[in-house]
Structure 1
Amino acid sequence: MCIIFFKFDPRPASKNAYRLILAANRDELYNRPSKAAEFWGSNKEILSGLDLEEGKEGGSWLGITKRGKLAALTNYLEGKTNPDAQGRGFLVSNFLTDGLDSFSYLRKVASEGHLYNGFNLLTAEFRVKHSHQLTFAEKNHCRCSKRPMVGEDTLCYYGNKATPEPIRLKAAGIYALSNALLETPWRKLQHGKRLFTSVVNRTLPPEGLVQELLHILNDEELHTPDPMQESQGEGYSKAMLQALSAVCVRSPGYGTRANTVILIDSEDNVSFTERTMLNCDITQWKTQSFHFKLQQ
């Protein structure tokens, strides 16, 4: 399933403010083979975890590139799914490797949305704001490609259970996405968003902010009954719907197995922290962090 909380501000007012604060959980079968986050791609410029499930190798749920392209995916809770549908994880990987901008990519995806089981997809582009930090080679690349040295950050959303067209999130704000449409007020989503908002509105050092967000992502409090979630999940067992009512899902063999926090500040610094379950054991975890500057 999965859950994502994010604060988006394309024009932060202060030097120390963040353009993006994102905290996300990946919920999956504990024994589904996957690779923890690492850099990959032709120039090792893409950072994400990867699905290793047979037939779906190379798909992902959340990733970012050194050039500022970001994508994140959640499944849509539905009672019946098509076992022959295309793998949704490729929607993330394809965007990170594709040359299309975020809105154009989602328009293409929307034209093919019927080929997939229910999903929500966020795509974004974060632009270099400080061109003086670019290397000679990067500046030359920008001139040759006729791309601007600086530009507006863009974040877009599309759900194939929603309207036919993707939308641009033009307003700065705090958003939340689970396994329904963007901002659907499930109880667990509202609870997590309140906690997320209280943290991101405080002034914290980056390390402290990451730890506070990881704490929120591991909140196992159940939020049942939730008629809205239960009606969408008709066909699921009562026990499973109860487990899915928490920000951090725990059930036999299935649940939250990765937490990810991404920070992008006004100085083009990116911080990516992933906490990953080891050996299908909810008591064993590995945390790793990556830091880099956006490139044009």
Structure 2
Amino acid sequence: MCLILTAWHAHPDYALVVAANRDEFYERPADALGWWDDAPDILAGRDRAAVNGASGTWLGLAQGGRFAALTNYRAPSEKRTDARSRGELVRGFLAGSEQPDAFLHGLRPRQGVYNGFNLLASDLQSLWWYSNRAATGLPQRLQAGVYGLSNALLDTPWPKVRSRVAAFAEALAADTGRRGASPSPYLALLADTRQPTDDVLPETGVSLEWERVLSSAFIRSPRYGTRASTVLRVRHDGSFDMLERSFDASGCIGERHESGVLRHSSETA
């Protein structure tokens, strides 16, 4: 993922709301949102490009009430070709049973086998963030509120993070919380292709041309761009709806929607 907007206990009806864009090369094979045949409790897209023998996903939900999502930390000079797939971290949490803090603390001894990452993990009782590039080196429990995450640390004020957090907060405030309420306002804010001026672009070690391309919430270029836009809403009673739009270089190529009730309620959170 390259942009994850998260509302944790910031709406009277929802425990968790997520609006996210996954950016990737168009040629990289991936399955769209769905329940996995070999892990029927997991609802997620699936990266089909194995990296050093491992693969996984970028964002998902498990029937037992577990949520996880991942972004890469952009630091091209630090990238290792022998690193393991970061997507296996999301898959590992969704398929497991550890509490989020225990899972994230357990990553610390082996964090070096992965290139830079940010990982959000929740069991709907708590929401945690961890990055193997954070100065503290420790997972952080997040309080109720709205958060923005791109390819730097949590709430790093890149232009697209600032603008989309503001738009996300507005969409959240306008969401009636009624069952069947349209996710269109969230999808619209994820579709923003505007690029900021050069003077406010971050300097992450890529060329200025690439900084421009990567600066919009929704990315378009001939070979690389936003591949999926996802909206997830989980209510306090455990009911959820999740919608994903898939894209290639030509535009939208499909839409998937899933809804149901998780076995684990967040009412006691």
Identify whether the pair has TM-score above 0.5, normalized to the shorter chain: yes
Tell me the TM-score normalised to structure 1 length: 0.83
Distance 1:173 1:44 in 2: 31
Indicate the SS of the match to 2:170. helix
**For residue 2 of structure 1, what is the amino acid of its counterpart?**
C
Per-residue Cα deviation, 1:20-76 (whole angstroms, up to 9, x for no partner): 110000000011001111112656111011111144564100001011111100001
Indicate the SS of the match to 2:71. strand
The answer on 1:66 being equivalent to 2:63 is yes
Distance 1:41 1:111 in 2: 31
**The one of 266, 276, 289 aligned to 2:257:** 289
Deviation of 1:283 after TM superposition, in Å, equals 2.2
**For residue 243 of structure 1, what is the amino acid of its counterpart?**
V
Tell me the C-alpha RMSD between the 2 structures: 1.8
- Which residues in structure 2 correspond to 1:1-296 (within 5 Å)? 2-9=2-9, 14=12, 17-40=13-36, 44-55=40-51, 58-80=55-77, 81-126=79-124, 153-162=125-134, 163-169=136-142, 171-204=143-176, 205=178, 207-225=180-198, 227=200, 229-230=202-203, 233-234=204-205, 236-277=206-247, 280-296=248-264
Indicate the SS of the match to 1:239. helix
**For residue 236 of structure 2, what is the amino acid of its counterpart?**
S
Indicate the SS of the match to 1:216. helix
Change (3 A) 1:238 1:207: farther
Distance 2:104 2:56 in 1: 17
Deviation of 1:99 after TM superposition, in Å, equals 2.1
How many residues are paired up? 260
Change (3 A) 1:161 1:228: farther
Indicate the SS of the match to 1:185. coil
Per-residue Cα deviation, 1:227-246 (whole angstroms, up to 9, x for no partner): 5622xx12x12111101110
Distance 2:123 2:250 in 1: 34
Report which stretch shifted further, 211-220 or 56-65: 56-65
Change (3 A) 1:62 1:173: same
Indicate the SS of the match to 1:7. strand
Distance 1:206 1:218 in 2: 24
Indicate the SS of the match to 1:67. coil
Indicate the SS of the match to 2:174. coil
**For residue 66 of structure 1, what is the amino acid of its counterpart?**
Q
Change (3 A) 1:259 1:111: same
- Max radius of gyration: which structure? 1
Report which stretch shifted further, 203-212 or 159-168: 203-212
**For residue 6 of structure 2, what is the amino acid of its counterpart?**
F
Distance 1:223 1:84 in 2: 34
In structure 1, the gaps of 5 or more residues are: 127-152
Deviation of 1:210 after TM superposition, in Å, equals 0.9
Distance 1:117 1:6 in 2: 23
Indicate the SS of the match to 2:202. helix
1:8–1:173 CA contact under 8 A, matched in 2: yes
Indicate the SS of the match to 1:251. coil
Q: Which stretches of structure 1, 4 residues or more, deviate above 4 A after TM superposition?
A: 205-209
Deviation of 1:101 after TM superposition, in Å, equals 1.1
**For residue 287 of structure 1, what is the amino acid of its counterpart?**
E
Per-residue Cα deviation, 1:91-148 (whole angstroms, up to 9, x for no partner): 111111122111100001122111111100000012xxxxxxxxxxxxxxxxxxxxxx
Indicate the SS of the match to 1:201. helix
Indicate the SS of the match to 2:86. coil
Tell me the TM-score normalised to structure 2 length: 0.91
Distance 1:87 1:9 in 2: 31
